[in-house]
Amino acid sequence: REVPYMRYGHTAVLVDETVLIWGGRNDTEGACNVLYAFEVSQHRWFTPKISGTVPGARDGHSACVLGKAMYIFGGYEQLADCFSNEIHKLDTSSMCWSLVSARGTPARWRDFHSATIIGSKMFVFGGRADRFGPFHSNNEIYCNKIKIFDTETNCWLNTPSTQLLPEGRRSHSAFAYNGELYVFGGYNARLDRHFSDLWKFNPEAFSWKKVEPKGKGPCPRRRQCCCMLGDRIVLFGGTSPCPEQGMGDEFNLMDHSDLYILDFSPNLKTLCKLAVIQYSLEQSGLPHDIRWELTAMTTNSNISRPIFSSHG
């Protein structure tokens, strides 16, 4: 009982040196609302003792951390059989849950969106919603407008419209760097498209810009993992259609085990290595460690054979 069962659509956040996993589901156990913790230093699972108003079991929600607080937003609630647009807060110091009494016009109910903390504000983007509440695939819509929740005032802010917008999507990645929000990848069933584009949102100017990184990036995908390490984003895995099946086949998907790094501030060494690869320069006179790194940068990074999945 101390170890979470296999699941998808859950969230995992880091508070100090403890990973907190909440929510998610699988087809056997259904959805979950038990809080699991993994102590990094001791490689140990445990279930913390909690109190307060525990959110209903769900998947496809978001979780983000500000200080000692974890904020849960949205998701698809199993018992209510509908999307949510509520915010729940877990005080990790006291391990007490509470339902946030938010003022203002809330973000639309949705699942598989992203919520990212910048300063004291939570930026919600994307996700799948239903025009009428209870989920029905014929009514699903994909959100592409930013909604902002101020954690200091517990208020949803009124936001202006923007001229340029990314396509609506779900199961994308979002992260903050230098006070700006970045969004990568995702999926839109209405458009029958997986994405590999990178967008940047500036909260000060309230504007979007499409970013074109140098180098060969990942193929279109969703449900990948993006982690910030200093000035780099490490991207791992994800799911996309099998090449032989075509881009629009929802039920013939391939799970990736590849690894990509997006470097926001490459040093001279990195730029030189990229030049060696780009122009196919002679490597025999280079130091052994440099040649090893060049090999690592140009060798298939798959850690296992592709896994074919029936899950969307």
DSSP characters for 57-120?
A: PEES-EEEEETTEEEEE--EETTTTEEB--EEEEETTTTEEEE---BS-PPPPBBS-EEEEETT
Within-domain flag for 32:
no
pLDDT score of 312: 46
Helix, strand, coil % over all residues of the chain, rounded to 5: 10, 40, 50
What domain range is 240 assigned to? 59-88+95-309
Within-domain flag for 221:
yes
pLDDT at 17 over 70: yes
Q: What is the pLDDT of residues 274-310, one digit of tens each?
A: 999 999 999 999 999 999 999 988 887 665 555 555 4
Q: What is the mean pLDDT of residues 193-198?
A: 97
* Residue 127 neighbours by CB distance under 10 Å: 31
CATH number of the domain bearing residue 71: 2.120.10.80
Buried b (16+ CB within 10 A) or exposed e, 172-206: bbbbbbeebbbbbbbbbeeeeebbebbbbbebeee
Within-domain flag for 40:
no
Within-domain flag for 203:
yes
The proportion of the chain whose per-residue pLDDT surpasses 90, expressed as a percent, equals 81
d(CA 45, CA 37): 6
Is the alpha carbon torsion for 268, 273, 276, 282 positive or negative? Answer: positive
| Strand spans (E) along 119-188 | 121-125, 128-130, 140-142, 147-150, 155-156, 173-177, 180-188
Is the alpha carbon torsion for 47, 51, 56, 61 positive or negative? Answer: negative
pLDDT score of 296: 86
CA 105 to chain centre: 24
pLDDT score of 241: 87
pLDDT score of 142: 94
Location of structure tokens 């999307």:
83
Within-domain flag for 120:
yes
Least confident span in 78-87, 118-127, 252-261: 252-261
pLDDT at 247 over 50: no
Phi/psi of residue 90, each to 5°?
-115, 115
Q: What is the mean pLDDT of residues 236-264?
A: 79
Q: What is the mean pLDDT of residues 234-250?
A: 73
Within-domain flag for 84:
yes
Which residues pair with residue 71 across a beta bridge? 64, 89
Within-domain flag for 50:
no
Measure the CA dihedral 274/277/280/283, to 10°: 90
Contacting residues for 229 by C-beta, under 8 A, at least 6 apart: none
Least confident span in 41-55, 152-166, 246-260, 280-294: 246-260
Domains in the chain, number: 1
Name the pTM for this structure.
0.90
Within-domain flag for 46:
no
pLDDT score of 248: 47
pLDDT score of 215: 85
pLDDT score of 221: 97
Q: What is the mean pLDDT of residues 172-187?
A: 98
Q: What is the pLDDT of residues 79-114, one digit of tens each?
A: 988 899 999 999 999 999 999 999 999 999 999 999
Query: Max CA-CA distance within the chain?
Result: 66
The structure tokens listed for 228 are 């910030």
